[in-house]
Amino acid sequence: MKQLIEAIQSGNISAFASPAIHVYEASFTQIGSTSLVLVRTEAGKKLIAVGEGDLYDQLQGEIVDGGKAAPLSHENRLTLNKFLPYTAPQAFGTQVATMGLGDRLGIASPGHIQTIRGKDIRPVLAQQSIRELALTGRTYEDVLDAAAYAVLQEGYKDGYGADGDHLKKEEDIEYALRLGFTMLTLDCSENIDNTIESLSEAEIAAKYEQLPASLRSHYEGRYLLAAPNVPGATLAYTPEALKKDVLIYDAAINFMEAIFRKYIVTLDRAVDFEISIDETATPTSPEAHYLVANELRDRGVAIFSMAPRFCGEFQKGIDYIGDIAQFERELASHAAIAVHFEYKLSIHSGSDKFSVFPLIGQYTNGLFHIKTAGTNWLEAVRVVAKVNPSLYRRMHQYAFEHFNEATAYYHVTTDINAIVPLAEVSDADLPNYMEENNARQLLHITYGLLLQAKNADGSKQFADEFFQTLAEQEDVFAAGLRHHIGRHLELLGK
């Protein structure tokens, strides 16, 4: 360590070389009289600080050879945020394309930064839903810590976001905001009445008539007397369709407004407020999208992005399923509506939707928000399949045996019996599972079960070996992300 300390003191860390210590040269930073670098040793990653001053004094660590070796702790991350503002998340607003790069493991962000750096799009590195936290056993503190240290490690100073994703409960919104999350994705699925879809026209009319007359005349006056004029959007309301949309979305619109007034308007900082109506059984027609957006604008609710549920299937970790011509027609209207109301269209379950990425880039004019998460986990699984076949086989088999349990969390149409049996696949061919939709979804939605699985003695059945493998293959994992997420960006026109 002494030679490293001397190299840092001289500001010439590129001259330092050691088989036991990998220095992330891009992390080298000088603040006042403190010099700082992030390194990887056999014992894991740590900060090495040299010099004196507030930053040096406030970092918690042990003195080694005249310098300070500090853990990548939550407390030290908060200190770094104070002295290195670029390590704290920021809101981006509606005028720059953004990409959610959900990292369920806390080790993918370096590869994400290497992929996105220099492109006309900004990363939301700290994106996790409460569902993901529950399944991985992580906290939002963990998510922010991992993203901030990755930003330091890569010396990335173009800004990153932190998205409290698919938040339904006020306590979760308060939790994310308290920690400084800069994006909130309000999941309105529990306020959207999907039961309306199964009613007959007569039942819908009868239910609609039970609404207050003032509410009915409000909607009828705004949407039936004249078709909305949104350049690029094809919108036509019929009395029957309007009644259905009012019954499906009115309560959700009230929920959106209530959360906006209670949590967003009262903030002393910018937060990107996203409305998510994608995780519902009801596809969002362009007319329904316009109705929700128009009501929000007239209530003074300003949003950063809206995530409709598109026609067809945006399932996890695999390409679009559906009629691409219909998707294109409706996408044109959805994108035009977003432009009209001055927010970005948000594409959830954006992982691997390669067949429609060019359309999304085209119709949004490159101004969109897209979310990925599962595909980043699957790139880690791909690395394991390549370098640790025994572990992959055990994980695959466990996922197969527990698949039905995982379908409680994610909507998929996977046929696990179509997956080639492990016994018929050589070690060399295991990575090919990541090219097959059913296997991708098998390994995708069971991530929580796999990471939390325990042996009889309480030890982790896979997680420790999984993370050790990924730590040994850090560069392979980053290269895989650069390739795979790079393909996403290329097809999106970035």
Binding site for ligand L4NQUYV4 (CB under 6 A): 102, 129, 131-132, 165-166, 348-351, 371-373
To ligand L4NQUYV4, the closest distance from the beta carbon of 346 in angstroms equals 9
The residues that are catalytic are 165, 274
* Integer Cα distance of 86 and 274 in angstroms: 23
User: Phi, psi at residue 46, to the nearest 5°?
Assistant: -155, 165
To ligand L4NQUYV4, the closest distance from the beta carbon of 494 in angstroms equals 17
Please, which residues bridge with residue 123 across strands?
Answer: 99
* Integer Cα distance of 254 and 252 in angstroms: 5
- How many Cβ atoms are within 10 Å of 167's Cβ, its own excluded? 25
Looking at beta carbons only, is 447 or 477 nearer to ligand L4NQUYV4? 447
* Integer Cα distance of 47 and 71 in angstroms: 6
**218 is known to lie in a ligand binding site:** no
Looking at beta carbons only, is 372 or 388 nearer to ligand L4NQUYV4? 372
CA 309 to chain centre: 17
**348 is known to lie in a ligand binding site:** yes
Looking at beta carbons only, is 13 or 347 nearer to ligand L4NQUYV4? 347
Q: Which two tokens stand for residue 164?
A: 């409290």
To ligand L4NQUYV4, the closest distance from the beta carbon of 17 in angstroms equals 39
Position of minimal CB gap to ligand L4NQUYV4: 373
Looking at beta carbons only, is 131 or 482 nearer to ligand L4NQUYV4? 131
Please, which residues bridge with residue 127 across strands?
Answer: 163
CA 366 to chain centre: 19
Contacts (Cβ under 8 Å, ≥6 apart) of 391: 384, 462, 465, 466, 469
Question: How many residues are given for the chain?
Answer: 494
Amino acid at the residue 24: Y
State the burial class of residue 222 (Cβ atoms within 10 Å of its Cβ: 0-12, 13-18, 19+).
middle
**340 is known to lie in a ligand binding site:** no
To ligand L4NQUYV4, the closest distance from the beta carbon of 234 in angstroms equals 27
CB 479, CB 402: distance < 8 Å: no
To ligand L4NQUYV4, the closest distance from the beta carbon of 2 in angstroms equals 45
Among candidates 298, 314, 275, which has minimal Cα distance to 183? 275
* Integer Cα distance of 262 and 116 in angstroms: 34
**Dihedral over Cα of 335, 341, 342, 345: its sign:** negative
Scan for tokens 């922010």, then name that residue: 144
* Integer Cα distance of 341 and 80 in angstroms: 38
Looking at beta carbons only, is 40 or 131 nearer to ligand L4NQUYV4? 131
Looking at beta carbons only, is 315 or 438 nearer to ligand L4NQUYV4? 315
Annotated binding site for a divalent metal cation: 166, 316, 348
